[in-house]
Amino acid sequence: MQIKSGTCMPVWTSAATSEPGRVSILPLRRALKPAVFLTSLVPFGLLIVDFVFDRLGAEPIEEITHRTGTWGLTFLVITLAVTPVRRLTGWNAVIRLRRMLGLFAFFYVSLHFLTYIVLDQFFAFSFILEDVAERPYIMVGFASFLLLIPLAVTSTKGMIRRLGRRWTQLHRAIYLAAAGGVIHFLWQVKADTRRPTIYGLVLVTLLAARLVNVSKSHGR
């Protein structure tokens, strides 16, 4: 990529070059993925630190459930935003982050799920089944989590190659999982629906952006 500029300004180039007047952005590009990886681990790191130093408040299990649920949903939405961001900005390199961001969504939702199974219910499976059947928000959360499992399992390069077009079709289920996450969030809040509503609006906008793009490409 080259951004041409005036004579006294540097010309940015992605190629490793020693030409005078050219500044290589290759190191920046290379640093992007590790930087996003480390940043994505920050909520987890803070959770561990707060746990170790007993800073999770009076209801630590509830706090862990809330944090991991929020980050799971946030990463789902960020993952879905990657393609629209690429289309709007022309920043193609961002696409290389999508798989990693999706796996972070799965990581945080899995922690959320495990918090419920292990810390909250202490493996009481008969009670868990009752809970799933009786509380609709748990059932929707459960279904969304189940939807994410095949997506995580098929996220390897080999699977992408093997599944071809079917991979793309399968991975559209991420919209459904995110919508389930928003409904799950909305159904459990008692009074203040602002946060789940914001997630819902962002998700609807991303879905609309996708549908507009699909109809444009069909119209061509």
Question: x/- string (CB under 6 A) for ligand HEM, residues 187-206?
Answer: -x------------------
Considering the rule CB under 6 A, would residue 79 count as an interface residue with ligand HEM?
Answer: no
SS3 59: coil
Separation of alpha carbons 184 and 207, rounded Å: 18
Spatial neighbors of 192 by CB under 8 A, at least 6 apart, are none
Separation of alpha carbons 171 and 188, rounded Å: 27
- Least distance to ligand HEM from the beta carbon of 213, Å? 24
Separation of alpha carbons 188 and 198, rounded Å: 15
Query: What are the tokens at 169?
Result: 């079709």
Q: For ligand HEM, which is the closer residue by CB, 171 or 184?
A: 184
Considering the rule CB under 6 A, would residue 69 count as an interface residue with ligand HEM?
Answer: yes
Among 77, 104, 145, 179, binds ligand HEM (CB under 6 A): 145
Q: Which stretch binds ligand HEM (CB under 6 A): 90-98, 153-161, 168-176, 184-192?
A: 184-192
Tokens 């993925």 correspond to: 33
Considering the rule CB under 6 A, would residue 142 count as an interface residue with ligand HEM?
Answer: yes
Task: Please choose, from the candidates 66, 93, 67, 97, the residue with its C-alpha nearest in 3D space to the C-alpha of residue 80.
Answer: 97
Considering the rule CB under 6 A, would residue 113 count as an interface residue with ligand HEM?
Answer: yes
What single-letter DSSP state applies at residue 1?
Answer: -
Separation of alpha carbons 1 and 14, rounded Å: 6
Considering the rule CB under 6 A, would residue 81 count as an interface residue with ligand HEM?
Answer: no
Considering the rule CB under 6 A, would residue 65 count as an interface residue with ligand HEM?
Answer: yes
> Which residues here bind ligand HEM, judged by CB under 6 A?
65-66, 69-70, 72-73, 109, 112-113, 116, 138, 141-142, 144-145, 148, 177, 180-181, 184-185, 188
